[in-house]
Structure 1
Amino acid sequence: MKKSILFNTFVTTVFLVICNQASGVTGAELICTGNPIDMVFILDSSKSIIYMDFNRQLEFVSFIVNHSDIGLGPKQVRVGVITFGDKAVTKINLKESVNKKVLNEKINKINQAPGGGNAADALNKMRNVMFQREQGARSGVKRVAIILTNGYSTDPVATRKEAKACRDEHIEIFAVGIGKIILFSDLYFIVSKPSIEFVYMAPNNKTLKNIRKKVAQLACNKGGC
């Protein structure tokens, strides 16, 4: 009788593990949970970003995905990804946020396509395409943008203009400076206000790992633009 109970318990445990893995559930502590958020990551794919730093951007996105309640439910977090070089390219739409497993598989397939630093086009595409209902965006839900870049834009004036248009539509913008050479001034001009609370510097991998939890906490809980 005891053996039968133990066997049934074992089978049930294995079944739950398999189900959790299939749905993308991980043992990571949830940082973004309880409140619906539409979150878009803008990744710098330009030639000024070395290959290693581009991969670190992907790791950063995966960290926040793994610590968020990802799904298409009304109170869950949806994630989208845009990369930019000569132009902006949509890699993942918000409506593709089925679960963590699906998102991480898509993130791992994102490749760097070096070119110019057209951050203005990325911000424009995020506002006019990504944050639209057709792509999975929701009305009345907090909208967050996290841009990872070294700050070097091909057209700083256009970038600042597009960033302001995003902020005017109540999109909260965070910036994470990537790499050893970061143009601080442009980052401070594009983020939400007060700028000092929305800009973080990550000149190396250790620093990036140290700040990612804090950025996630602020992005998921902070209010205002």
Structure 2
Amino acid sequence: TFSDQPKIKFHLNDYTSKTAIANAISDIKWKGGNTFLDRALAMVRRQGLNPRYGSRPDVPQITVIITDGVSTDPRKTRKELKKLHAQNYIPYAI
């Protein structure tokens, strides 16, 4: 989750079933605050899509960002997106 500071709620290797993952996602609550997408993207790049947390090199590295609005700092967000693309990550925003 993210607003002023991003926080990872779970890693790819924390659950072994679709039901458990769906339940974990359902338990995430909206916390309000700003929309620092750049901070969330940087965290995904550094921690989220990492082999020690369940990321595998033989599958596409996809991240889905669900947001309630425009980034607080669009310039920094574009910079982080370029870094993700340079590492062949595929980000989607909803």
TM-score, with structure 1 as normaliser: 0.40
- Choose which of 2, 12, 15 in structure 2 pairs with 1:97: 15
Q: Does 1:115 align with 2:19?
A: no
Q: Which runs of 5+ in 1 are unaligned?
A: 1-82, 177-225
Residue 65 of structure 1 aligns with which residue? none
Q: Which runs of 5+ in 2 are unaligned?
A: none
Q: Of the two, which has the highest radius of gyration?
A: 1
Distance 1:92 1:159 in 2: 23
Q: Which amino acid aligns with 1:117?
A: T
Using the TM superposition, give the Cα deviation of residue 139 of structure 1 relative to its aligned residue in structure 2, in angstroms. Answer: 1.6
- The structure that is helix-richer by fraction is 1
Q: What does 1:62-101 align with in structure 2 at a 5 Å threshold? A: 83-101=1-19
Matched residue SS, 2:75: helix
Q: How large is the Cα RMSD of the aligned pairs? A: 1.3
Q: Which has the higher contact order (CA 8 A, sep 6+)?
A: 2
Residue 157 of structure 1 aligns with which residue? 75
- The structure that is strand-richer by fraction is 1
What percentage of residue pairs aligned between the two structures are identical? 30
Distance 2:65 2:28 in 1: 16
- Structure 1 runs (4+) greater than 4 angstroms displaced: none
Matched residue SS, 2:38: helix
Post-superposition CA distance 1:185-224 (Å, at most 9, x none): xxxxxxxxxxxxxxxxxxxxxxxxxxxxxxxxxxxxxxxx
Kindly tell me the number of residue pairs found equivalent between the two proteins: 94
